[in-house]
Each structure stands twice: as structure tokens, then as C-alpha cells.
Structure 1
């Protein structure tokens, strides 16, 4: 039976076990997902796609930091399609629509941590039509998920909303303590920590709008709320006095924390908001509310709720551990996405992801 035949024959409401999976890309999150596939009791590793020449031919276990598997990496999509897997966990740094289209048209389901597929109506219409046609032709489905966006902007808030009969606003705050993150290029070069404050880079604001806006709109729509516009803004807080962090030195008066607000509004009124606060020190000139790394969700409705979630980790352990929050959810989604009808599947289409442990 071909991959297309298998995909179009799915009729069971419950996901089945034994899915053959390919891990596409092996960066921080991809390598953690690869480890999850290897250790999963009901998933079989069929292949690995890599984007760097030095990884071609390397055993998947080496790339995942586990024992050898006998499965080696390739950088050819034709090799992946020839394997006829049930699902590809697609996690590259940059989306290639042509590749995704080929996978789906070949009857291969896709679970991705890319943000482009959270809400079909937010997609570029041309890209959406290409992907939807490929899903129909191949009898396959695709779903975007992860920790943020994904779990914290969709799965958990939707659960909290089950207690409500009226909602005014949903507010999601994310906190990340980066003081022990030894990544100078990321913190100083890309994110702008340690620099003198200036106007927030519009490109970064638009990136956050594109990354979180569709997920927030989907959340609002899950309970019948309408979002007219997605507004985005950013602000920084400066260091009161020079402080040393793992990545280097933050001089007095330079950026020590930053906060971006992505807000979905209806008739000019906030309906749903996501606000990440990233900080390298608590010694700031501004009186910001800085919580330990994690999230806070507040639902203002007829059954008000405020839920704090902490990652019980030392700051120096975050870089090693946090990729699992995104990768594990994608691995746990595989069986449900494979069981779904063909198409771009959102959190509104799929059941709650229940993990299966060895």
C-alpha cells in the first residue's frame, strides 16, 4: 500500500500506533524531537533530513545524543519521500513551501513547529491554496504547534475558557530570565541587550505579529470572539548599574529587559493579548513585574482565573531543557495529526494531545 493510499484510508476516530516518522532538521528543537521519536513506544524512526552537509550520513542517534539507530541522515527530499513515512516532523529555521507541498502531495502528514500554519485564514492566500490542494491530493494533513505559540496561546487557554460563559479579555504573559544564557551573539547582536535604548526595531515587532497574531486570533475565535486588528508594540528597560551576566557585561544605562505586546482588538478594545518579557537582570531603572521563567494566564470573565506556571529550573539549566517544551508537544501530536482528515488542521480541529510513555 502506498503512502497516499494509506493516508486516504484513515477513518478511525482514535489515533493508531506504530507511525513511521521522519525528523526534518536537527537544531536545538529538532534534535530534541528526534530523541523523542527514538524513545517513543509507538513511533518508528524512518529517516532524518538535515540542512548541513557535515551531518549527511551521520547516524540519527549521534545527532540526538542517544545510542546509534542504524538510520542515517540525508539532505535529499527525494530520499525522504521514497521512505513513505506516515509523518514528517518539520522543524527548519526557514519555511520552504515547495518542500512542504511535495511532502503533503506525497501523502505524508506534517507536524511542524513553524508558525505559518496556526490559522489558515491568516496565511498568504496563494500559499494557503497550494497547501490545501496538496493536502487534498495526497490525503494528508498539517498542523503547527509548540510551546509558544501553541500550548500557551491555544491549548491551555482553551481549557481555562471551558469554565466561562462570558469573557472580556484573555491575557497571556511570558517571562524568560536570560541572565545565565551564554549566547552573546543572540543577546547582544540580535536581541539588542547591552545596547543603548533606541526605537524598537520595526522588523522585530512585525516578526512577533506574524508569529503570535494568528494563534491569538484562533484562540479568540474558539469562543466566538472577533478580532478586528492585531496591534504590536515594544518597550525596553535599562540597567541601573553595570552588571555581569553569563554572556558578558551590561553597562549602566543599556538595555537589560524588553517587553513586546501583541494584542488582538475588537472595536478598539483588547480581547486577547500575549506579552513576552525577556530580561537579563532584575537591576533595572523601571519597576517592571518580573516573574521567574514561565507564564501567567489571566482570564477576565464571569469565572475569573489567574494561573501561574513556573519552570522549576535554575537559569543555567534553561538552555538545555527548554527545547523539550516545544519538541515534546510536536512529538505527542503525531498520532492525532495522522488520524485527522486531510487539510490544514488547527487546535480547534484536533483533540487534546495525550502523551504515550514507554
Structure 2
């Protein structure tokens, strides 16, 4: 630094591109990886993969871009040694040991996993471990995505900003999955094609755990904390054997599912998230095209449709961006945040640096 140079080391760090590692390269992770490579203010420094066939593959090849010279690895130590500012953590299952290792090493974490939306709802022991790792590393972690995340937190906070009385807020999500060529996700994780009796409670419990914390966070932000979060669900069987992009669903097997998660305050439903996911329209339900319908009942009532203007055959290629992009766009805010588990209420509005 010269005698006339007033730039501090902190200023220099703030002006450089943020160093990022991508953790996992499934549908969402692959889209995030591509966004990081193409981002004007981010530098890719590491890629973590889980399968042998991706180990050593070039990062560009993993997401349909030209070679980058960055080889993927299965080693967490290689990611730690890359000295990144942030890890985009997007595996199918959350490993708290991995998360704590990354945070304690000095890497912030932005994740599309849903475990960190509402710290007060977390298992106390897990929360304490994560917060301790953040303290050691001087880092923060944030859960986000399209749903939960954007549609259950960011959007409702904007819509309620013109209310002075809120009677009810409802989010209805619809997704036509007939052209989604992801048999592992649809059949193994979501239970499509399975026995309705075996799938029903599992899906209710899963969505309550996934969306309940987000509704609690929203209520806390509005100053009306929830007394309880409940969930109910229903399944629609296939009327006949059908073939979808992911495979075959036999007659009588699960072809559609609807789960409603309700945030209850003072004995009545105040907030609601309802997901209707279907693989065929040949069922006894009325369904909408893929998208969201949001209603706000208060002293400034609203009724909003958010449609995805994408042909159904292209939806599988486009839809991962709705989740991945918000995580990528949140990196700068999370890196600048105070150490700890940081929620939508803690961070500034996420703005896309295009």
C-alpha cells in the first residue's frame, strides 16, 4: 500500500470476487454450478460430487459448459483446502457433520436443504453444534430456494408489507411432474407409483417438517408467532396404468398428492401452504398449471397467480433454476452476515447481481 493509497485490506477483500464451492451436482446443483461459472462476481474454486463416475470430471462438463480446468472431487478436505468464501450445499440429504466441518473451516454455507429456515424449530443439540461451528469459523449458514424460501418467506413478506391487518394468507403450489425424467425423485423420494396406504403419512410428515419452519419464520417476522403447525394430506390413485417421463405408474398407485401445512394461531388457521403435485390430470381433482396461487385476506386483500410460462416438455430443464438461482443470488449477503444461522428475516433483500 502506497502513502497515498487509502484502500484497506478489508476493502480489497470486499472488492474481489467471492470464492465459491459447489457441493453436489444433481438437478439443482448442476444449475447452481453453471450459474457460478457464468457469474460476474463469483469464482468457482471447488466442486464436490458423490458418485465415482463424476469424480475427477471437469466442472464445465458437469453442467454443459466448456471445460474450466476445475476437476470435481469426493474429498471434503479438498473443498476445505480450496479456502472458499462460501459453499453452495445441495445434497439430497443433509449431513450435519459435513456442514459443521465446512462452517468451522471458515466457509459460509448457502443451502437448498430446509433444515435451517427457523432456528427455534431445530433440534436443540443440532442447533448448538451448528452455531458453535459458525462461531469457530466466523461464518454463517442460510437455507433458501424457491419453495420453501421465495414463495413462503420472501414473497409473503413483500405482500404483507401493505397490510395493517392480516386475517389469512394462503399459498397454493401446483406442479405437473409428468414430463420430469427423474425416477429417483418421483418414485423413491416422493412416492409416486407406490401404495397409497404406505405413502400417505410419510408425505404428510415430510412436508410438515419441510414447510412448517418456514411458516413459523414468516409468522415470527409479522409479530404473530404460531401456536402450532399441523398437516393433512390426500392421494389420488391412477385410474389406469400411465406412462410418464420417469417411468410407469400402475392403475391404483399414487398418481397425485396434495398436502396442506397449516400455521395455527389462537385456534384458527392464519397461514397455509398447500402443495398439489401430480403426474396426470386424469384424476378426480381440479388442478392448475404449474405455478403458485397466493391469496392475502386483510385490510388490503390480494389474489395473485404466478405462472411458469414454459412448455411442459421444457419444464424439467427450466424449473431447477427457480431454486438454484435464489441460492446463488444469496451468496454475497450470507458472506457479509454476522456468524450464525441466518434466516430471511436476518438478511437484507436478496438482489440478483446480473
Q: TM-score over 0.5 for the alignment?
A: yes
Deviations 1:197-235 (A, max 9, x none): 437532222111111110010011111112111111111
On the 8 A contact 1:17/1:335 being kept in 2, the answer is: no
- 1:227 equivalent to 2:226? Answer yes
**What pairs up with 1:150-229 in 2 under 5 angstroms?**
150-184=149-183, 186-188=185-187, 190-194=189-193, 197-198=196-197, 200-229=199-228
- Residue aligning to 2:273: 274
- Residue aligning to 2:93: 94
- Residue aligning to 2:331: 334
Instruction: Quickly say closer, same or farther: Cα 1:227–1:17, change in 2 above 3 A.
Output: farther
Deviation at 1:255, TM superposition (A): 4.0
Instruction: Quickly say closer, same or farther: Cα 1:253–1:92, change in 2 above 3 A.
Output: closer
Instruction: Quickly say closer, same or farther: Cα 1:17–1:143, change in 2 above 3 A.
Output: farther
What's the secondary structure of 2:148's corresponding residue? coil
Unaligned 5+ residue runs, structure 1?
Answer: 1-8
- 1:63 equivalent to 2:58? Answer no
TM-score by length of 1: 0.90
- Residue aligning to 1:141: 140
Unaligned 5+ residue runs, structure 2?
Answer: 1-8
Deviation at 1:282, TM superposition (A): 2.2
- Residue aligning to 1:308: 305
Deviation at 1:59, TM superposition (A): 1.1
On the 8 A contact 2:200/2:234 being kept in 1, the answer is: no
On the 8 A contact 1:16/1:339 being kept in 2, the answer is: no
Deviation at 1:137, TM superposition (A): 1.6
Instruction: Quickly say closer, same or farther: Cα 1:126–1:248, change in 2 above 3 A.
Output: closer
Instruction: Quickly say closer, same or farther: Cα 1:86–1:301, change in 2 above 3 A.
Output: same
Counterpart among 315, 318, 323 of residue 318 in structure 1: 315
- Residue aligning to 2:111: 112
Using the TM superposition, name which of 261-270 and 181-190 deviates more: 181-190
Deviations 1:45-70 (A, max 9, x none): 11111111222211111112101111
- Residue aligning to 1:6: none
On the 8 A contact 1:170/1:300 being kept in 2, the answer is: yes
- Residue aligning to 1:32: 31
Instruction: Quickly say closer, same or farther: Cα 1:50–1:189, change in 2 above 3 A.
Output: closer
What's the secondary structure of 2:287's corresponding residue? coil
What's the secondary structure of 2:53's corresponding residue? helix
- Residue aligning to 1:75: 74
Using the TM superposition, name which of 145-154 and 172-181 deviates more: 172-181
Instruction: Quickly say closer, same or farther: Cα 1:11–1:301, change in 2 above 3 A.
Output: farther
- Residue aligning to 2:18: 19
Instruction: Quickly say closer, same or farther: Cα 1:17–1:277, change in 2 above 3 A.
Output: farther
On the 8 A contact 2:17/2:43 being kept in 1, the answer is: yes
On the 8 A contact 1:141/1:337 being kept in 2, the answer is: yes
- Residue aligning to 1:85: 84
Deviation at 1:194, TM superposition (A): 4.9
Number of residue pairs the alignment of both structures matches: 345
Using the TM superposition, name which of 142-151 and 265-274 deviates more: 265-274
Using the TM superposition, name which of 68-77 and 145-154 deviates more: 68-77
Write the distance in 1 (CA, Å) between the matches of 2:144 and 2:10: 22
Counterpart among 329, 332, 344 of residue 341 in structure 2: 344
- Residue aligning to 1:47: 46
